[in-house]
Amino acid sequence: MTTLAQQHSTPSQSHTAWMATELSVINELNQRHVKQVMDYSKGFLDKTFPLQQGSHKDVCSYVVYYQQLLAFFADGSTSGLQNPAQFVALSGHREAPCSIVLNNNGRHVELILNRSGINGCRDKASIDDIQLQTSEPDCVWFSMVTGRQVACAHKGNKQFTCKDGLPYSLA
C-alpha cells in the first residue's frame, strides 16, 4: 500500500519528463535571447567603434598587434578599427586578451573575452560580456548582455595595460 507521503515525495516518470522538457524549452529561449542581445550589442560596436572592413558580428577573434586592435574573420582576413585611437587598453596577453577596453568621447567600453564563459563559449569571438561605463557621478558600469549594473569594485581590482605597455586606469 502506498502512503500519501510516498506519492508526493517520489516524482513520477511523466512528471520528470515534463520537467526536463520545460527546462529544455526555457534553456533554448534563454540562448535565443542572449544571441539577440549579443547581435544588438555587436551592432552597437559597429556604430560606435566601426571596423575598417567587416562587422563585429563576424569577428572570430581579437588580437593586439603592436599598438593596434585587429579583428580576425573566418576567411583569414583582418581589420582594424576605423579610428585606431579608440582602442586604449587590454588585460591579459596581446595574442589572447581577457578583455579589450575601447574609448568613445571619454566613456569606456570593455569587451570581456572568455572562451569558457557562459556566453563566451557560444560566441564566435568568445565575447562573454560587453560593459559600458555610464555617465553617473559614481563609477557605474552597465552590462549590455545581462542588462544589469556591474559593481565598480571589480574594475578597480582588474589590471589593464595601455596599448603602449604602461598601466591603464579606468578612473
Give the closest residue to 67 by CA, choosing from 42, 40, 85.
85
Predicted local confidence at residue 10, as pLDDT:
57
d(CA 142, CA 150): 6
Q: Strands 68-73 and 97-104, how do they pair?
A: unpaired
pLDDT average, residue stretch 148-162? 75
DSSP 72-117: EETTS-EEEBSSGGGEEEEEE-SSSEEEEEEEETTEEEEEEE-TTS
Question: Which residue reads 512528471 in cell numbers?
Answer: 15
pLDDT average, residue stretch 157-161? 81
Q: The pTM is what?
A: 0.80
pLDDT in tens, 51-97: 999 999 999 999 999 999 999 999 999 999 999 999 999 999 999 99
If one compares 142 and 2, the residue with the highest pLDDT of the two is 142
Span 11-168 CATH architecture: Beta Complex (2.170)
pLDDT in tens, 105-125: 989 999 999 999 888 888 999
d(CA 104, CA 99): 16
Secondary element (H or E) of residue 143: strand 141-143
Domain extents for the chain? Answer: 11-168
Contacts of 47 (CB under 8 A, 6+ apart): none
Predicted local confidence at residue 153, as pLDDT:
57
